[in-house]
Amino acid sequence: MTESKEKVRYRIASIGGCFGTALMLSACAAGPDYHAPQSAALGVPDTYYGAGAAQPVSDADLAQWWSRLNDPTLSALIDKAIAGNLDIVQAQARLRQARESLIQTNAAFLPQLNGTATGGRNYSSQDAGGRLDANGNPIGGGGSNWSSSYSARVNASWQIDLFGELARGSEAARADLAASGYDLANVRMTIISELVTNYVQARLAHEQLRIARETQKVQEDNYRIAGWRLQAGLVSSLDEQQARAQLAQTNATIPQLEARLRSSLNRVAVLTGQAPGEATRALETPAPLPVASTQIATGIPADTLRQRPDVRSAERALAAATARIGVAQAQLYPALGISGNIGTTSNAFRDLFSLITGGIFGNVQQLIFDGGRLRSQVRSQRAATDAAFAAYKQSVLTAVEDVENAVAQLNSARARKAEFAVAFEASNNAAILARSQYQAGLIDFQTLLTSESTLLNARNSLASAQSDEVLAIAQLYNALGGGWQNMETQAR
C-alpha cells in the first residue's frame, strides 16, 4: 500500500512540475523566477571617469557624513529633521501601509472562517394543527401561538495555491515592502542634503553680509574723504558723486542678502518640522561656513547598486513586477478550493447542540472563455516588467551620472577657491595701496573705485567658492547614497 501511494505522489508531482498540497499536492509557482540583473546588463562602468583612483567607501563613512563638516549646529539640525520632518513622517506611514498590505496578502494562505448565530420567537395567529415549519418548529400549535427557534453555523473556505498565485502575490508584496523601506531611506537622504544646502546658504549669506557691511564702512570713509577734498578744491564734484553712487550700490545689496538669509532660515525651520520664525532665531547669529573635508572616497560604480536607496527601491519594484507576471499567469490555470460548514438548529436553546450537521466540499474552477482577457493581463504585466527593468537601469545610470557631476563640481569648487584666495590677497593689497595713494592725492577716485570693486568681488567670490565646495561635498555624499545606512528600512 505504501508503494502504491508513492507512485501516486510521483505522478502528481510530474504533472506540470507541481507537487501535491492537500492530497499530497503542493504549489508550483507560475511565471518566471526573479534574478537580479547583473552589472553588465545595467551598463555599469568599472570605475568613475572623473574620480581618479578608486578608493573603497565604508557604510560608516556614509552613515553620518555631515559630521565630517565639524559643525555641531548643523548636526543638531539634522537630528531634528530626522525626528520631525513631515516628508519623513509621510514616508514612514507609507512603509507601515506596505507592512499591513503584506499581512493582508499572506492571510490568503489560511482558511477563512465565519460564523452566524440566530435566535428568536415565531408567532402564528391560528393553531396549525401540529404542522411544522421548514426548521421543524410548530406553526401555531397547542395552546400557544408562540414558538422559539435557535440556530448556529460556521462556514469555512480555503483556496489551495496550486499554481502559486498566492505565493507570487506574497512575493510581490514583500518586494513592495522592501521598496517602501528604501523609499523612506531616500526621503531621509534627500531631506538631509536639502537641509545642509540651506544651512550652508544661510552661512554664506551671513558671510556676504559681513563683507557688505565692512565694505560699507570703507566706502563711507571714501565718501567723506571725497567730500573733504572737494571742499578743499582739490577735486571736482565727480569724485564725490562716484563715491556716493558706490556707497548706495553697496547699501542696496544688504536688504537682498538679508532676504536670502531669511529664506534659507525659513526653509531650515520647515525641514525640521517647525514653523518659520522663532524656531531658527538662534541661527540668526552669524557663524562661519562649515569647514570642508579634504579627502572623500567614492568607491566604484558597482557600489552604487548597494548604497543608493532609490536604486535599491527600483530593483525591488522590478522584483515585484516580475512576481506579478506569475499572479496573472496562474489565473489561466485551474483553481482548487475546499469549503465546509457545520451547524445546528433547535427550538430550545438547551437542545441547540444535541443535533449537529455539517459537510465538506471540494471545487475546481477553470476558465473556458473570456475573450482573451486573462492572457492580455499576462502580456500587460510582462510589459510592466520591461518598463520596471528600464526604470531600474535608468536609476543606476542616473546614480553614476550624479556621482560624476558631483565630483566635477567639487574639483571645480576647489580649483576656484584656490584661485580666488590668491585674487583676494592681491586685490586686498591693491586696495590698501590705492586708498593711501588717493588720500595723498597721487591717484584719482576712479582708480580707487576700481580697486575696491575688485576687492569686493574677490571677497564675495572666495566666500561663494568656499560654500560651493561644501555644497559639492553634500551633493557627492548624496550621490553616493549617504545618510541612511544606520536607519531601519522595515516597518515596525
**Residue 491 clears pLDDT 80, i.e. is over it:** no
Q: Which segments within 327-453 are labelled E, that is strand?
A: 335-346, 356-365
Residue-wise DSSP of 166-217 = HHHHHHHHHHHHHHHHHHHHHHHHHHHHHHHHHHHHHHHHHHHHHHHHHHHH
The confidence band for 445, taking pLDDT boundaries of 50, 70 and 90, is: confident
- The strand order across the sheet containing 356-365 reads 112-123, 146-160, 335-346, 356-365
Residues 6+ apart with CB under 8 A from 426: 458
pTM (2 decimals)? 0.83
Per-residue confidence (pLDDT) for residue 17, from 0 to 100? 37
C-beta separation of 434 from 443 below 8 A: yes
Per-residue confidence (pLDDT) for residue 21, from 0 to 100? 40
For the segment 354-368, what is each residue's pLDDT rounded down to a tens digit? Answer: 778 888 888 888 888
Angle at 305 between CA 55 and CA 318, to 5 degrees: 175
Supply the Cα-derived Rg of the chain in whole angstroms. 38
Burial 195-232 (b: 16+ CB within 10 A, else e): bbbbbbbbbbbbbbbebbeebeebbeebbebbbebbee
> Which cell is 129 given?
394543527
d(CA 217, CA 246): 12
C-beta separation of 154 from 341 below 8 A: yes
> Which cell is 55 given?
578608493
> What is the arithmetic mean of pLDDT over 140-148?
62
For the segment 223-255, what is each residue's pLDDT rounded down to a tens digit? Answer: 888 888 788 787 778 888 888 998 999 999 999
Q: What is the DSSP letter of 32?
A: P
Question: Which H or E run includes 157?
Answer: strand 146-160
For the segment 60-102, what is each residue's pLDDT rounded down to a tens digit? Answer: 888 889 988 999 999 999 999 999 999 999 999 999 999 999 9
Per-residue confidence (pLDDT) for residue 124, from 0 to 100? 67
The confidence band for 57, taking pLDDT boundaries of 50, 70 and 90, is: confident
C-beta separation of 471 from 197 below 8 A: yes
Burial 161-179 (b: 16+ CB within 10 A, else e): bbbbbbbbbbbbbbbbbbb
